[in-house]
Amino acid sequence: MPLIASVSGIRGVFGDGLDPAVLTRYAAAFGAWVRQRRAGRGGSGGAESDPAGRPRVVVGRDGRITGDVCARIVTATLQAAGCDVVDVGLATTPSVAMGVLKHEADGAIILSASHNPAEWNALKLLDRTSEFLGPDEGAEVLALADEGVAAHTVGAYEIGTYETDDVLDYHVQKILDLPYVDPEAIAGRGFKVVVDGINSVGAFALPALLDALGVTDVEVLNADVTGRFAHNPEPLPAHIGQILDRVRESGADLGVIVDPDADRLAFVQDSGVFFGEELTQVVAADFLLAKQGGAVATNLSSSRAIEDVAARHGATVHRSPVGEIHVVRAMQANDAVIGGEGNGGVILPDLHYGRDALAGVALVLQHLAETGQSLSDVRAGLPDYAIAKHKVQLTDDMDADALLAALAERYAGGRVSTVDGVKVDLDEGWAHVRKSNTEPILRVYTEAGSPEAADALAERFKAEVLGEA
């Protein structure tokens, strides 16, 4: 299995593309990168007031079985590259991002392959603002990796220190400090919530948040942090039958589903029906725009529902290429008050510029508490679109760029965007075909007025991209 180096990190199957040598090479390169960045900033207060001093790097991991091994390799390598390390251990990706802010660190490495299966792992790289590295910064790290580990190893008296911390309490407190989150109002609704922890960090992080928000009736499925995922970790309807059944049988008000590092969030309605990860950012935006107004940013593969809801509040939606950092850049360029992705990502700049399932849970519970609605009521008031998410497996003899170019040519003259793959807007819906940042596949996402129409549109575009239509 090839190693995938992209805007989403350095990712591969452990023992088959991702091995200790790879981890060492890229961790050393990142250590060198943060050293160079620190030295170039000069003293201006905070963690950067001593540019000649060692940079500080936060390291955290999700619950997958290779996480501990990978983290020990990475933390030791960063020390050898002259970085002081704050090891936050098992932690959600957004908690690690908050750890960067807490420790005024120069960056972070998160050991998580997000929604990929358990045999995968990855190095996800954050800068000193707690944001993912952009394409230019990522290219700098890749160039340093080509220089080899020895080029970035410091002398015996320059190696970095090592300490541990638990950043979850800090993360939760910052959510409670948001002016529009009221734990008393949430507690007053007496919610019963079922959580699918997928045997990873969400299994303890979400109950901690819910407890702090005053939700005392919480049932956690797949609560053992073993990294042996109870089902496919991507929060899609085909994978989550267990929690759908449990919400319905228990009479719970809602179910909460996260991926292994808890940056993606999906809900189950009180009736045991999947609310849909596509609608997570939509309902969060509906809540926040009613509070303070402003712009929204999301990616090209997200539902048109975000435009419909934004229009209720007179807000503008800005579209970006797929990838969290691209959405973040669009948010910053347009002063957006909230952003996200249709994969269940909610980005709340009042907290940090990163997808945050814990923040998303707090916003949605607050929305339900203030309106007195159930999640089924909320769904009934949202636009009724259906999204299909298909894929085309890439083989060694397939030229993905050529396939996409041919598809763009086929629809030349129509409403086509080639900013990120090929997106075609049609009267009956849209189709977006692009190379994945995380897997050797083409993603084929479509949206239409019904699930059947969306699937049919996806099948049509898969056939067209493969030259079968």
Q: Kindly report the CATH number assigned to the domain that includes residue 360.
A: 3.40.120.10
Give the CATH number of the domain where residue 405 resides: 3.30.310.50
CA-nearest of 234, 198, 214 to 361 is 214
What the block records as the tokens of 274 is 């999947």
Q: Is residue 109 part of a domain?
A: yes
In this prediction, residues 273-286 reach a mean pLDDT of 94
Number of domains forming the structure of the chain: 4
> CA 138, CA 5: separation in Å to the nearest integer?
9
Domain boundary among 343, 359, 380: 380
Choose between 70 and 6: higher pLDDT.
70
Q: Is the pLDDT of residue 295 over 80?
A: yes
pTM of the model: 0.92
Q: Is residue 209 part of a domain?
A: yes
Q: Are residues 95 and 222 in the same domain?
A: no
Do 67 and 227 form a contact (C-beta atoms < 8 A)?
A: yes
Predicted confidence at residue 44, as pLDDT, reads: 39
Predicted confidence at residue 440, as pLDDT, reads: 86
Predicted confidence at residue 3, as pLDDT, reads: 85
Q: Is residue 273 part of a domain?
A: no
Q: Is 114 a catalytic residue?
A: yes
Q: Are residues 105 and 162 in the same domain?
A: yes
Percentage of the chain surpassing pLDDT 70?
A: 97
Return the SS3 of 451.
helix
pLDDT band at 432 (very low <50, low <70, confident <90, very high): very high
Q: Is residue 420 part of a domain?
A: yes
Q: Are residues 27 and 149 in the same domain?
A: yes
Predicted confidence at residue 48, as pLDDT, reads: 43
Q: Is residue 271 part of a domain?
A: no
Rounded to whole angstroms, what are the CA distances from 359 to 240, 326, 441? 22, 20, 30
In this prediction, residues 143-168 reach a mean pLDDT of 96
pLDDT band at 77 (very low <50, low <70, confident <90, very high): very high
Reported as a single tens digit per residue, the pLDDT across 352-381 is: 999 999 999 999 999 999 999 999 999 999
Range of 250's domain? 171-264
DSSP characters for 294-320? -EEEEETTS-THHHHHHHHTT--EEEE
Predicted confidence at residue 231, as pLDDT, reads: 93
In this prediction, residues 439-461 reach a mean pLDDT of 95
Q: Is residue 86 part of a domain?
A: yes
> CA 34, CA 173: separation in Å to the nearest integer?
28
Q: Are residues 126 and 25 in the same domain?
A: yes
Q: Residue 392: CB partners within 8 Å, gap ≥ 6?
A: 441, 442, 444, 462, 465, 466
Q: Are residues 160 and 181 in the same domain?
A: no
Domain boundary among 234, 264, 294: 264
Of the given ranges (100-104, 212-216, 342-346), which has the lowest mean pLDDT? 342-346
Predicted confidence at residue 438, as pLDDT, reads: 74
Q: Is residue 269 part of a domain?
A: no
Q: Are residues 441 and 376 in the same domain?
A: no
Helix ranges, 323-430 (H): 324-334, 357-371, 375-380, 400-410
> CA 340, CA 76: separation in Å to the nearest integer?
34
Q: What are phi and psi of 85, to 5 degrees?
A: -115, 135
pLDDT band at 5 (very low <50, low <70, confident <90, very high): confident
Catalytic one of 8, 95, 112, 114: 114
Do 74 and 25 form a contact (C-beta atoms < 8 A)?
A: no
Predicted confidence at residue 412, as pLDDT, reads: 93
Domain boundary among 166, 182, 215: 166
Q: Are residues 326 and 247 in the same domain?
A: no
| Average pLDDT in the chain | 94
Q: Are residues 204 and 259 in the same domain?
A: yes
Q: Are residues 95 and 40 in the same domain?
A: yes
In this prediction, residues 438-466 reach a mean pLDDT of 94
In this prediction, residues 145-151 reach a mean pLDDT of 95
Choose between 48 and 294: higher pLDDT.
294
Predicted confidence at residue 469, as pLDDT, reads: 59
Q: Are residues 185 and 56 in the same domain?
A: no
Q: Is residue 272 part of a domain?
A: no
Q: Are residues 241 and 293 in the same domain?
A: no
Q: Is the pLDDT of residue 228 over 50?
A: yes
Q: Is the pLDDT of residue 49 over 60?
A: no
In this prediction, residues 249-264 reach a mean pLDDT of 97
Q: Are residues 143 and 19 in the same domain?
A: yes
